[in-house]
Amino acid sequence: MTRAVVFDMDGVLISSEEVWDVVREDLARERGGRWGPAAHHDMMGMSTPEWTGYMRDTVGLAMSTGEIEAEVVRHLIARYRRDLPLIPGAREAVRTLAGRVPLGLASSSTRALIDAVLDLAGLREAFTVTVSSEEVARGKPSPDVYLRALEGLGVAPADAAAVEDSGAGIRAASAAGMRVVAIPNALYPPAADALALADVVLASIAELNHERIWA
């Protein structure tokens, strides 16, 4: 029996991967960086220190990692305030599950972005604990962010499920020892070997409330 559920945020609750892409690419071009076709894929699931380091060292921005983070987060929050890309059915799925089991959130986004998204979506109170990968040693696909969330929930990995969309996230939750519910991102689908680690694969977040998933 599932005793807690931990959600990823980007690609599960909000359709934000393409927004991240635009904001980081725009910054790279404005500051003379080298934005390559692999950049987005390389950074998916990275913690804040990891992706800002990538932007500095691989993309070639002549900025500190702190400056890169501040610029990207500022632009993302401004876009979310204008038009939050909440995935249809996400708010309803979260609120329904919150009435059954404690919920956590384990995201590669920064703390400022997590708080902004949950406030704008009206979902902050639905989550018992939220963790950013900037608050742990390693980002996804390492399990650190999920293990920290489970500590906060007081639930063993074997008694919890993760809801993920990306290959890095699926690998992270699986490495943590959790049951994995995958909702593959249509724009950035996980590799077949990562998707094979999922216990359940759904077409949309609207299917999350089926009882069979949590038995």
Decide: 14 and 85 in contact? Cβ < 8 Å. yes
pLDDT confidence bin for 72, thresholds 50/70/90: very high
| pTM score, whole prediction | 0.90
What is the tens place of the pLDDT at every residue in 149-197? 999 999 999 999 999 999 999 999 999 999 999 999 888 899 999 999 9
Give the integer Cα–Cα distance in Å for 39 and 41: 6
Q: Is 165 a catalytic residue?
A: no
Q: Is 131 helix (H, G, I), strand (E, B) or coil?
A: strand
- Distance (Å, rounded) from C-alpha 187 to C-alpha 93? 22
Q: Evaluate whether 110 touches 134 at the Cβ level (below 8 Å).
A: yes
- Domains in the chain, start-ordered, CATH in brackets? 4-15+85-214 (3.40.50.1000), 17-82 (1.10.150)
Q: What is residue 215's predicted lDDT score, i.e. its pLDDT?
A: 62
The count of other CB atoms within 10 Å of the CB of residue 115 is 15
pLDDT, one tens digit per residue, over 10-26 is 999 999 888 998 999 99
- pLDDT at residue number 193: 97
Mean pLDDT of the chain: 93
Choose the catalytic residue: 10, 26, 119, 159.
10
